[in-house]
Structure 1
């Protein structure tokens, strides 16, 4: 188990990290954040299974020992970089989220200094919402969006520099 204080480092996502992430298993209701098997993602060329997309948009989050602790997608949009964030399941709920999210935000701001940083989160995910708020994000909008299980309510949260 990783104990605080911990420093997180954001690095380009390696193929081995992508393979590892595909094996992560979250407890319900967070299991909706799991990925399909690596071989399938690679064959379909989706998300970080696409080598170009992986190198352009995905980063890995490591601790001081070089252990993979999570990942993020830095998705460029017009005037905005939208974050997609995933922490290794066994690290969730242990008070590291704020440090983890801030490392990702810092990487996004370095890569896209002129853009606003935002993210989307399901409205029921109060654990993540609290972490994002402690990390400098504010809820700015609520809307419905399609998911694999139908239309669900989301918050858009914007990072306040």
Structure 2
């Protein structure tokens, strides 16, 4: 049984966390959110495989016991910080999303208090969309974006402080 009274903490992403995230396997259709193997990400020096990018933009989300529960990318743009969010697959769908996302939003507000916060989400991902709405995000735009499986429709959702 997963407790809904869990507290999430946002901390700098450690290499161990990055390696663990690369091993997560999501069930279809969420498997689009999986990562390539850690060694490949390091060799290509991309995303959290790039030490500087990992330090500047990526954070880990842990629980009170220090167990990795997910991660976020806080991607700075002109006047905006765009969130990229990933929860550990076995924690998804248990009603913890609003607490998880809330901890990430709080960290983004501390790091970038003057910037708007937004995120992108595939339009079919109603589970995530409901969570984001519960956390204060609203859909502001719809557009096509390239994914590993071709162009797909996305919503842009903006956080209302």
TM-score calculated relative to the size of structure 1:
0.99
User: Partners of 2:36 and 2:48 in 1: how far apart?
Assistant: 11
Report the secondary structure of 2:61's partner residue: strand
For residue 72 of structure 2, what is the aligned residue in structure 1?
Answer: 72
Q: How much does 1:3 deviate? A: 1.3
For residue 144 of structure 1, what is the aligned residue in structure 2?
Answer: 144
Report how many residues are paired. 161
User: Partners of 2:105 and 2:121 in 1: how far apart?
Assistant: 15
Q: How much does 1:39 deviate? A: 0.6
For residue 114 of structure 2, what is the aligned residue in structure 1?
Answer: 114
Runs of 4+ in 1 over 3 A off after TM superposition: none
Report the secondary structure of 2:36's partner residue: coil
Gaps of 5+ in 1: none
Q: How much does 1:2 deviate? A: 3.5
Query: Is 1:57–2:79 an aligned residue pair?
Result: no
User: Partners of 2:95 and 2:137 in 1: how far apart?
Assistant: 17
User: Partners of 1:142 and 1:34 in 2: how far apart?
Assistant: 23
Which string of whole-angstrom CA distances, capped at 9 and with x for unpartnered residues, describes residues 94-122 of structure 1?
Answer: 00000000000000000000000000000
For residue 38 of structure 1, what is the aligned residue in structure 2?
Answer: 38
